């Protein structure tokens, strides 16, 4: 344990309806605003995972047989409790992740929308019915899978878990949540509140840990489905290992999202949207607009005010009353990775026109800060052009025309988001038709989808068949049964026909 820690926040697991603090090794959880250790996250292994799976497996039959309306009622109550605990959740997200309170609030609202979507499960689970031949009826039923697992990243401690477990549970599955070991504390509150809402014992379990924990979940014979969100190498690993072990897997990966700026774009609005897309949540978003593709004269019209806007972004600690515009990144190691990618780009010939490296925060000298950074004249092939930086860094790449911009964006291995800023309908249409990305924005910098639409990453941003959220999310957590029915004996029909 670190010598800098003060009073640690407890970080128990929730197994079979009980909070337990196993006596096992742990990893430090930081407050990235100050660099202090605020908790120790237990590194769960086979013992904890097995206990969670057995509990979820035992709880499944009774929960599956609970009618959808009754299951939905738990989520109506849950929504109220999350709202009543809104400030507490926001503060926890802000403290362990470093989001500003405004950003934390936005992320919890997005999570609440997923709870609201789960409240509609009675309608979402309804099947179809048709008389397929004389006296023969056919109907579809949507039934749960069994024990499902959610493995989540550090960058949205509440929202991403809420993408998963409300809908999975409302569908009648039982669930094991394994949050990021870098931000385990918000998940504890989310689980506590769902118990308070009346969820039966064993229906939701919470395990903490890293690779060992994940590996046991991926191979456990009683686990039916895995929902994963994180970086691309791990998403690929989860998909391959999970499917090899017979599980249904949806695995969201990393991203590199392009924003095309046409010379006719509304520049003041574009500056505002681009700086939010690039620097919001300190750039730690899978939908961050991390590369601006300026077409023709757009660069000269855009960059002076964009640089000014970036220089005005106040960076600082997010755990106090006076809030900055942007908080820290998650760890010291991540800060160093971000700044070294920028320095590498500079060595390869790019120009840093707004430099957030080495930013000093007087009242939080040990926090993990990078200021807003803009790297101009990035060209295809540079490391900074390829790697997901995941920090407050915007690359600018200069394009001759829209065609060149679309072709460049389409060479990326990723395919999460892409956006265009223009006032020309033809250009917007051409872009939306041809760009290789699952979520497209037209004059919208962060076209992240909300609860009722699927989160449609393509290529190396997603492994699987059914995406998270929306109807695809419901399909992922259910299996269809088709029932054909014929009743013998004609008496009742004869009476009816008379």
Structural tokens at position 209: 């840990």
To which residue do tokens 């009622």 refer? Answer: 73
Among 447, 457, 464, 470, binds ligand NAD (CB under 6 A): 457
- Binding-site size for ligand NAD (CB under 6 A) equals 28
Least gap, CB of 287 to ligand NAD (angstroms): 8
Pick the piece of the chain touching ligand NAD (CB under 6 A) from 121-129, 142-150, 210-218, 391-399. Answer: 210-218
CB-based contact 311:352 (threshold 8 Å) = no
Question: Under 8 Å CB-to-CB from 465, ≥6 apart: which residues?
Answer: 250
Among residues 171, 234, 384, 446, the one that binds ligand NAD under rule CB under 6 A: 234
Determine if 254 is a binding residue for ligand NAD (CB under 6 A).
Answer: yes
In total, the chain counts a number of residues equal to 498
Beta bridge partners of 138: 130, 484
Identify whether 286 is a catalytic site residue. Answer: yes
| Contacts to ligand NAD from residues 331-390, by CB under 6 A | 388, 390
CB neighbour class for 492 (10 Å; exposed up to 12, middle 13-18, buried from 19): exposed
Of 173, 174, 252, 339, the one binding ligand NAD (CB under 6 A) is 252
Q: Which lies closer to ligand NAD via its Cβ, residue 144 or residue 454?
A: 454
Could you give the string, one character per residue 102-141, with x where binding to ligand NAD holds by CB under 6 A and - elsewhere?
----------------------------------------
Say whether residue 230 binds ligand NAD (CB under 6 A). yes
Q: From 106-114, 133-141, 392-400, 453-461, give the range in contact with ligand NAD by CB under 6 A.
A: 453-461
Dig out the tokens for 178 from the structure.
């394994």
**Helix or strand run (H / E) with residue 375:** strand 373-376
Beta-ladder partners of 444 = none
For the packed helices 159-170 and 185-196, what is the interaxial angle rounded to 10 degrees? 30
The three-state DSSP-derived secondary structure of 392-442 is CEEEEEEECCHHHHHHHHHCCCCCCEEEEECCCHHHHHHHHHHCCCCEEEE
Contact between 455 and ligand NAD by CB under 6 A: the answer reads yes
Radius of gyration of the chain (CA): 24
CB of 413 to ligand NAD, least distance (A): 13
146, 292, 378 from 351: Cα distances, Å: 53, 14, 8
- What angle, rounded to 10 degrees, do the helices at 86-97 and 68-84 form? 70
**Which of 92, 148, 213, 286 is the catalytic position?**
286
Q: In this structure, how many other beta carbons lie within 10 angstroms of the beta carbon of residue 362?
A: 6
CA-CA distances (angstroms) from residue 30 to 8, 95, 359, 368?
A: 10, 9, 19, 10
Closest approach of ligand NAD to the CB of residue 148, in Å = 15
Judged by CB, which is closer to ligand NAD: 174, or 461? 461
Q: Which of 231, 276, 305, 424 binds ligand NAD (CB under 6 A)?
A: 231
Q: How far is the CB of 417 from ligand NAD (least distance, A)?
A: 9
Among 49, 170, 286, 427, binds ligand NAD (CB under 6 A): 286
C-beta of 234: minimal distance to ligand NAD in Å?
Answer: 4
Bridge-based pairing state of the strands 174-178 and 204-206: parallel
Q: Which is nearer to ligand NAD, 251 or 274 (CB)?
A: 251
Per CB under 6 A, contacts with ligand NAD among 138-157 are 151-156
* Closer of 249 and 267 to ligand NAD (Cβ): 249
| Calpha distance 328→331 (Å, rounded) | 8
Selected range binding ligand NAD among 83-91, 92-100, 123-131, 223-231, rule: CB under 6 A: 223-231
Nearer to ligand NAD, 110 or 178 (CB): 178
Active site (catalytic) residues: 286
| Binding region for ligand NAD (CB under 6 A) | 151-156, 160, 178, 180-181, 210-211, 214, 229-231, 234, 252-255, 286, 388, 390, 416, 455, 457, 461
């Amino acid at each position: 344990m670190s010598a800098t820690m003060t009073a640690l926040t407890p970080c128990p697991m929730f197994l079979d309806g009980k909070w337990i603090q196993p006596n096992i090794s742990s990893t430090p959880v930081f407050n990235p605003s100050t660099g202090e250790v605020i908790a120790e996250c237990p590194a769960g292994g086979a013992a904890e995972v097995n206990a969670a799976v057995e509990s979820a497996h035992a709880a499944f039959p009774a929960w599956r047989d609970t009618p959808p309306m009754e299951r939905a009622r738990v989520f109506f109550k849950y929504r109220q409790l999350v709202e009543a605990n809104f400030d507490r959740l926001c503060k926890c997200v802000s403290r362990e992740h470093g989001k500003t309170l405004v950003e934390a609030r936005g992320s919890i609202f997005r999570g609440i929308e997923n709870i609201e979507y789960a409240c509609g499960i009675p309608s979402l689970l309804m099947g179809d019915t048709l008389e397929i031949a004389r006296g023969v009826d056919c109907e579809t039923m949507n039934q749960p899978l069994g024990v499902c697992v959610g493995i989540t990243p550090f960058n949205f401690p509440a929202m991403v878990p809420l993408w998963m477990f409300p809908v999975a549970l409302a569908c009648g599955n039982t669930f094991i949540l394994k949050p990021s070991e870098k931000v385990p504390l918000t998940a504890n509150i989310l689980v506590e509140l769902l118990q308070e809402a009346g969820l039966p014992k064993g229906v939701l379990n919470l395990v903490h840990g890293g690779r060992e924990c994940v590996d046991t979940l991926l191979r456990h014979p009683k686990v039916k489905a895995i929902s994963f969100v994180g970086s691309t190498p791990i998403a690929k690993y989860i998909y391959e290992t999970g499917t090899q072990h017979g599980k249904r897997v949806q695995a969201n990966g990393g991203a590199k999202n392009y924003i095309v700026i046409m010379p006719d774009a509304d520049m003041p609005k574009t500056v505002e949207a681009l700086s939010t897309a690039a620097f919001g949540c300190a750039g730690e978003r899978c939908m961050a607009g991390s590369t601006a593709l300026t077409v023709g004269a757009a660069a000269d019209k855009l960059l002076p005010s964009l640089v000014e806007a970036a220089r005005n972004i106040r960076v600082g600690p997010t755990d106090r009353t006076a809030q900055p515009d942007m908080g820290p990144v998650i760890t010291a190691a991540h800060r160093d990775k971000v700044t070294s990618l920028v320095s590498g780009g500079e060595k390869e010939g790019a120009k840093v026109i707004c430099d957030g490296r080495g930013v000093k925060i007087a009242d939080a000298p040990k926090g993990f800060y990078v200021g807003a950074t803009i790297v101009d004249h990035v060209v295809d092939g540079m490391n900074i052009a390829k790697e997901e930086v995941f920090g407050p860094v915007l690359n600018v790449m200069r394009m001759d025309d829209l065609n060149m911009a679309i072709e460049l964006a389409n060479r990326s291995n990723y395919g999460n988001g892409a956006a265009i800023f223009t006032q020309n309908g033809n250009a917007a249409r051409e872009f939306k038709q041809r760009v290789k990305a699952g979520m497209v924005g037209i004059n919208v910098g962060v076209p992240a989808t909300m609860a009722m639409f699927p989160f449609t990453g393509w290529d190396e941003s997603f492994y699987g068949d059914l995406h998270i959220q929306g109807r695809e999310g419901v399909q992922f957590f259910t299996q269809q049964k088709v029932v054909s029915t014929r009743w013998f004996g004609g008496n009742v029909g004869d009476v009816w026909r008379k």
